[in-house]
Amino acid sequence: MYPIIRSCFFIALFIISPFILIAQEGEEFKSPALSEKDAWTMVLFPDTQSYVKFKRNQPILDMMANWVLENREKLNIPLVLHVGDLVEHNAWANPDGEAANQPGKSQWEAVAKSMGAFDGKIPFIATTGNHDFGIKNVENRNTSYADYFPVDKNHLTQAMLKDVAEGEDGMPLLTNATYEFIAPDQRKFLILVLEFAPRDAYLEWAIERVNDPKYEEHVVILLTHTYLNRDSEHIETEGYPIEDKNYGKEVFEKLVKPSKNIQMVFSGHIGAPDNPEGHVGYREDKNAAGKTIHQMTFNAQALGGGWHGNGGDGWLRMLEFQGKEVKVNTFSPLFAISPSTRHLAWGSGAFAPFSFALD
């Protein structure tokens, strides 16, 4: 059976034709709301690196987090996920002012503060991206993630933690972990978090975890960073200077496809200056149990002015769960806050709404 690949197309935000712009402005703006009263919403944050590499962009990330909090009850939001690249530079000490104007330490402090809005209020789970390691871009496997997102940072997240892999030093490694989530409709989920381009040992660890009989009835969500390209193909290789690495195709072949309960994969990583089509991907395949795997890449980091712009135009992705039906929308609190831009707040084109059904 051939995989089903959905290609997304987008009309770039600031080169929209006047006719379409007028049509959008003429429509009445509607704030996000549940389409069914018993539904619940999972919020997905894209790569946040460009919100924190320039100090001027940090308030946008704060706005995004606080918008989620303000709509927690209205949208019934019990969980927030992050697809990695929390920062642009893990440990760059003397940024040049062009690529960034905050050192790595300040970037980590900024994202920890912004995402700290969820502490004690909503569980927050993040994976790690290539920029979260090394100095500037995964020159090695060192990361400050656990220093700024320790296990006890958010007690609601800590309560969900189930399995933690061991590092080479025998100590717990939060970059490879599982979290059990009981949805408002009582459906059981397991969130599997893997490091950037996971090493073979952690793929083996992961398949053992998802195959554990106690998770047999769980819906497993794999949260990883690099997985699909803009053509919705599994990424085969990238040129990062690390050894023992597995990109999208190998992660799919070694973990996702052989599993019996991985039904969703969320990732980020890809981007192109002011081109929404270069930030997203979606495809469906079957796992070993014949269940459909919904694989979605969502990012926005180079929108709103490219690599040196505002960080991503404030885009968030909302997944509304109605039993087995999942409705996906992309929304920008940044655009929504002003009457002059709120006609742009709902995603279209590459960010257009779509839906899928879990088996």
| pLDDT per residue as tens digits for the range 121-179 | 999 999 999 999 999 999 999 999 999 999 999 999 999 999 999 998 899 999 999 99
Between CA 334 and CA 61 the distance in angstroms is 9
Between CA 241 and CA 283 the distance in angstroms is 28
How much is the pLDDT for 107? Answer: 98
Place of tokens 């969320």: 266
How much is the pLDDT for 168? Answer: 87
Q: How many helices (H) and strands (E) does the chain have?
A: 9, 14
| Burial environment of residue 136 by CB neighbours within 10 A (0 to 12, 13 to 18, 19 or more) | middle
Between CA 298 and CA 58 the distance in angstroms is 20
How much is the pLDDT for 28? Answer: 86
Does residue 301 lie within any of the structural domains? yes
Does residue 26 lie within any of the structural domains? no
Place of tokens 């992050």: 82
Q: Per residue in 277-317, pLDDT tens?
A: 999 999 999 999 999 999 999 999 999 999 999 999 999 99
Pairing outcome for strands 292-298 and 316-322? unpaired
**Residues of the chain under the 50 pLDDT cut:** 1-25
Between CA 45 and CA 116 the distance in angstroms is 14
How much is the pLDDT for 266? Answer: 98
- Contact status, residue 276 vs residue 349, Cβ threshold 8 Å: yes
Does residue 206 lie within any of the structural domains? yes
Q: Which residues form the domain of 150?
A: 4-14+39-357
How many domains is the chain partitioned into structurally?
A: 1
Does residue 30 lie within any of the structural domains? no
Between CA 334 and CA 324 the distance in angstroms is 30
Q: How many residues does the chain have?
A: 359
- Give the torsion sign (CA, 265, 10, 329, 160): positive
Does residue 333 lie within any of the structural domains? yes
Between CA 123 and CA 267 the distance in angstroms is 18
Does residue 351 lie within any of the structural domains? yes
Enter the tokens of residue 318.
């909302």
Between CA 290 and CA 144 the distance in angstroms is 39
Does residue 20 lie within any of the structural domains? no
Looking up residue 67, the CATH number of its domain turns out to be 3.60.21.10
| Burial environment of residue 8 by CB neighbours within 10 A (0 to 12, 13 to 18, 19 or more) | buried
DSSP sequence for 183-206: -TT--EEEEEE--SS--HHHHHHH
Place of tokens 């002015």: 305
Between CA 126 and CA 275 the distance in angstroms is 25
Pairing outcome for strands 4-5 and 280-286? antiparallel
Does residue 33 lie within any of the structural domains? no
DSSP sequence for 134-197: TTTT-SSS---HHHHS-TTSSHHHHHHEEEEEE-TTSSEEEEEEEEEEE-TT--EEEEEE--SS
pTM above 0.85, yes or no: yes
Q: How much of the chain, in percent, has pLDDT values that exceed 90?
A: 91
